[in-house]
Amino acid sequence: MLVPKYIYLTKGKGEHKEKLASFEAALRDAGIAAQNIVEVSSIYPPHAQLVSRPKGEKLLVPGQILFCVLARNQTNEPHRLISSSIGLAMPADHSVHGYLSEHKGFGENATQSGDYAEDLAAEMLASTLGIDFNVDQSWDEKKQAFLMSGKIIKTSNITQTGVGPKDGKWLTTVAAAVMITQWVAPPAIK
C-alpha cells in the first residue's frame, strides 16, 4: 500500500497566451511542475505529518508520481478575479483521518475563498466525528465550536488569487495538498 507520510500545502499562478502553458507556469510557481501529478480525493491520512513547503520540496524527485489534492482555476477574461483554495481539517486523534477540500472561486478574494474551503473541510470532519453544529452559522462561529469540541485540533487553508490580464492572456491559479508517500506492507489476512 502507498500511504502518505508527509503532506505540505503549496500554491501558484501563471500567465500565458496558451491555456495549457499558463497551467504549467502555475505548477512551476507552486514547485510541482517537474512531477507527474495524480489528483486524489480529500482524505488527510491518519499519522501523516504536515510539513513546510521547503521541507516537502526536498523530498521530491523530477518525474516521480505525485499524489495531490488540487484546486485549479483559469480565466482569459480581463479583470476577472479567480481563486484556488485547499482547506484542511485535522483531528486531535492522529489515528483518525482528517479532510482536505478543494475550491475554485470567481469574484472571491483570498479570505472568502480560503474560509469557504476551510469551512468545507472542517464540516466534513465534524460530521464524521459526530460534532453537533449548525450549518447556517458563520465560519467563525463554527470554527470556534469545532475547536472547543477538542476533537478537531487544526483547520487552515492555502489560497492563490489572481486577476485576468487585460490583454486576454490566460491566467491559472492552483493550490495543492502534496502527498509524499511511502510503501507500507498491508496487514496480514487471517
- On average, the pLDDT of the chain sits at 92
CATH number, domain at 64? Answer: 3.50.20.10
pLDDT at residue number 17: 97
Structural domain includes residue 24: yes
d(CA 118, CA 154): 10
Structural domain includes residue 101: yes
Domain housing 38: 2-183
Share of the chain above pLDDT 90, in %: 76
Question: What would the pLDDT profile of 103-136 be if each residue is shown by its tens digit?
Answer: 999 999 999 999 999 999 988 988 888 877 777 7
pLDDT at residue number 154: 87
Structural domain includes residue 189: no
What are the residues whose beta carbons fall under 8 Å from the beta carbon of 40, sequence distance 6 or more?
67, 68, 69, 179
Structural domain includes residue 166: yes
pLDDT at residue number 184: 60
> Model-level pTM greater than 0.75?
yes
In the DSSP assignment, the letter for residue 63 is T
Structural domain includes residue 188: no
Measured in whole angstroms, the distance separating CA 92 from the mean position of its chain's CA atoms is 19
Structural domain includes residue 190: no
Angle between helices 139-148 and 110-129 (to 10 degrees): 40
Q: Report how many helices (DSSP H) and strands (DSSP E) the chain contains, helices first.
A: 4, 9
Structural domain includes residue 23: yes
d(CA 57, CA 48): 16
Q: Is residue 86's pLDDT more than 80?
A: yes
- CB count within 10 Å of CB 147 equals 15
Question: What would the pLDDT profile of 37-73 be if each residue is shown by its tens digit?
Answer: 999 999 999 999 999 999 999 999 999 999 999 999 9
Structural domain includes residue 139: yes
Backbone angles phi, psi at 47, to 5 degrees: 70, 0
Backbone angles phi, psi at 155, to 5 degrees: -130, 145
Strand pairing class (98-106; 65-75): unpaired
Give the chain's domain count. 1
Long-range contacts of 49-52 (CB under 8 A, 24+ apart): 49/5, 49/6, 49/7, 50/6, 50/7, 50/8, 50/9, 50/88, 50/90, 50/154, 51/6, 51/7, 51/8, 52/8
- CB count within 10 Å of CB 141 equals 12
pLDDT at residue number 131: 78
Strand pairing class (170-183; 65-75): antiparallel
Question: What would the pLDDT profile of 131-184 be if each residue is shown by its tens digit?
Answer: 777 777 776 777 777 776 777 778 999 999 999 999 999 999 999 999 999 766
Query: What does the block give as the cell for 99?
Result: 479532510
